[in-house]
Structure 1
Amino acid sequence: MNDGKTYFGAELLKWYRKERRDLPWRRSRNPYHIWVSEIMLQQTRVDTVIPYFNRFVDRFPTVGDLAEAPEEDVLKHWEGLGYYSRARNLQAAAREVAELYEGRVPRVKKEVSGLKGVGPYTAGAILSIAYDQPEPAVDGNVMRVLSRYFCLDADISKPATRVDMESLAASLIPEGQAADFNQALMELGALICTPKSPSCGGCPVAEPCLARLAGREKELPVKTKAKKARDVYRFAALIEGVGPHAGKVLVRRRPDTGLLAKMWELPHIEAADAAAWEDLAEGGRGLEAALAEDGIVAKATERSAFDAQHVFTHLVWHIKVLPARAAEELFVADRTGYEWVGPEQFELYSWPNVFRKLLTEYFVDRAKEKDE
């Protein structure tokens, strides 16, 4: 077994040093940059993350800059990545680092693991990549590689399996080469040992891979399917202003806690089910009444309602959007959470992707109509 582990580490490192991708967070051992990148990369593709990472560290180049920034600014620079609780946790942890560790990301496992939002994988990535400590960094890519290489049938969705995988990964780390080894293991899973179609022909450790030898490389790892995301039905109003608010749209801020906290959206209501959703959409019934309870009088325009969707890990929002117009020169300064927003102010606000896309298209279309 030890010979097999030595072979695995040596061949993997040789491959990685030749084939590794040039990624911005790999150009230094800056622990803050590594930390930010690892939080962003959770459930997000590398190519998607790169521009967000560059923009984020340009705006918040140090832990102290992130700690001192207004939360709205942090969310704005995270906008589009989703999972906004991660951005809030990252900033909260940056404040902990500023207060407890003089702005330096700790290199002690207990300390870095105690930061808000830092789990075993992120802690292992920071300690190994930034400080070259022999700590495992086990994510989905790594569990897939190890499951196949050692032909393991344990369900990788179970916490006990992750613990066992961490122990196995730690035993594989070549002395003094934790940073490159852990990144190589992740890289192999991302580029070669992929979920559905592993490229065994290009794998540097394919020869002794037990799953390949057993013809099981496509059936491993074993993973229990996640529960299906729950469907939620919402009916939103895209309300155009009149008078001094002409050219603007009425939006509201979400509550300070919970899903998409403090972000901006079109005012909307939730339907009990798909049937009620369709019924509410008939001529704007229900939505107009709900808005009226907040003192907002609006009527549907001649424009047709249209559908949109927002997918979360555990939820799918089905949104029917009703174009409407304010029935009066509505002032909302005294209505907590509501504001009129035009194209000039749009980028100053943080939006969930679905409303960012809707309003971007709306303002572009209105500008075209004006030009015509």
Structure 2
Amino acid sequence: MDIKEIHPKNFNYLLPKESIAQIPLKNRSDSKLLHYQKGSLAHYKFSALPELIKNKSLIIFNDTKVIPARMIFHKATGARIEIFLLEPLKPTVIMEEIMSSKGSCSWVCMIGNAKKWTNDIALSIKTDHIQLTAKRLSHDTVQFSWPPEKTWSELLLALGKLPLPPYISRAPTGADKNWYQTVYSKLEGAVAAPTAGLHFTKEILNKLRSKHQIDYLTLHVSAGTFQPIKTNAADHQMHREQLRITRSNLINLLNNESVIAVGTTSMRSLESIYWYGVKLINGEHDFFISKMYPYQDYISLPDKKMALSTVLKYMDSLALNTLTGHTEIFIFPGYKFKIVNKIITNFHMPGTTLIMLIAAFCGPDWEKIYKKALKHNYRFLSYGDSSYLEPALEKSHRNDRSKAKK
């Protein structure tokens, strides 16, 4: 496989503007669901999903919660400065910990109108007797300070704005605070919703729970999920995202062959866990999966059981129930899936890392799936309709050896 030949021009399709959903349906489960099963396609409502999952499965959800990550400041001159939170730096890089911090914190940020804001000028916003001051430390680092009576989470709730995707051509409303969160969202930290989960209601979750096993992990989705690819796969910069897994995740994965990822974020997380097992077997303890780590020239690779058991033993050796790391894994055609064999996902933007992931999962049939969805007026992107994809995957790990060697 020549990675330089993996180019976004091969993963484009014409997406009419009118196919991009601007608001969700009133009832989450009324969305359309396109079921792809080993080449065949059928149309349903999303509420039919529990009946479509025939074999007892482990269904993995991403329970991240979207934070109001956009803040608008104004200079004394009236110049508008927009700050978009990307990744925490101080006093901790752990998302759950920084959300409860008080008094000050620093973040890597995207800064709108950055030329108008020099490092010697502090900016402030105030509402409801809360004042937040921002000081620019570098081209993309901002230090925030505020009276320590409030947590960072409380401050963002009061002063921040919901970061709707750029293809939603309207300002956020109060309704988006509910629309743009999954009903099971729990841990704050995402700047974009894991939108495959937006279709699920508590009723559907209960139906699934009665027949299958449900579990949650956390990937705090970054703004990179919207970033178009302008070059080949090898040269594309992936934003790293914080991943939190639990001991129960590993036990459940070891005990289930049928694994359904709810969304591309869950899929990337699950595949990253496998590759962390590979790193541990190779003596590398740093929980960071670089974008090209799966594409190295390995002589042999461990099977799923060996990789996951290695991570579990590592956690047990440190008496850990949870483990936090980072991933920038890039899944594109040529990737051999190690953990996931089915996915529930929305319809994605052309020429992006997400559509390349779907092409890796479904092969050339991704084009057939998208053409069918467009022909039948499916609604696309975050607030759009859904798909349940069951391709005939090659079991790439079946004959792998028990050691990971480069």
Higher helix share: 1
TM-score (norm 1): 0.24
The higher radius of gyration belongs to 1
Q: Which structure has greater strand proportion?
A: 2
